[in-house]
Amino acid sequence: MRAVLQRVTRASVAVGGDTVGTVARGWLVLLGVAPGDTPAQVEWLAEKVAHLRAFEDTDGKMNLSVLDVNGGALVVSQFTLYGECTKGRRPSFTAAAPPAVAEPLYEAFVVALKARGVPVGTGRFGADMQVELVNDGPVTFVIDAPA
């Protein structure tokens, strides 16, 4: 399971021109699922996202979590995080889990993040989405859940 975390001052996701999810201060989480991913990885990643100290304290140091700053998360499924681009000119997505595997783990991640006290907005799994964000910093992390 792979997440790209972007610290944002605001972000939103729309489907067909309708906004389906938003977040003010917090994380935009782009979430990719691989075929062998497990519920244990979901829990590990939710814990990491909720408690990663990457928000500035009063001294300007990255020392606070999204919970500490009363932030939230906008979680968007993104199978392209497992795109393979080293061969040829067209990416291959064979390393991404099929929807029947990925969607339940995506939904479980949203539930796990909410269970840790993080307010969560979401995109729509499998939809063509338009994401807007204001990256704060910019601060961006790529996190792979351990196997």
Number of H helices, E strands in the chain: 2, 8
Secondary structure E strands in 34-89 = 55-56, 62-64, 72-77
The yes-or-no answer on residue 78 being catalytic is: yes
Q: What is the DSSP code (8-state) at residue 92? A: B
- Residue among 6, 78, 109, 122 flagged as catalytic: 78
- Residue among 80, 86, 93, 125 flagged as catalytic: 80
- Residue among 79, 94, 140, 141 flagged as catalytic: 79
* Main-chain phi, psi angles of 56, to 5 degrees: -75, 140
The yes-or-no answer on residue 125 being catalytic is: no
Q: What are the residue numbers of the active site? A: 78-80
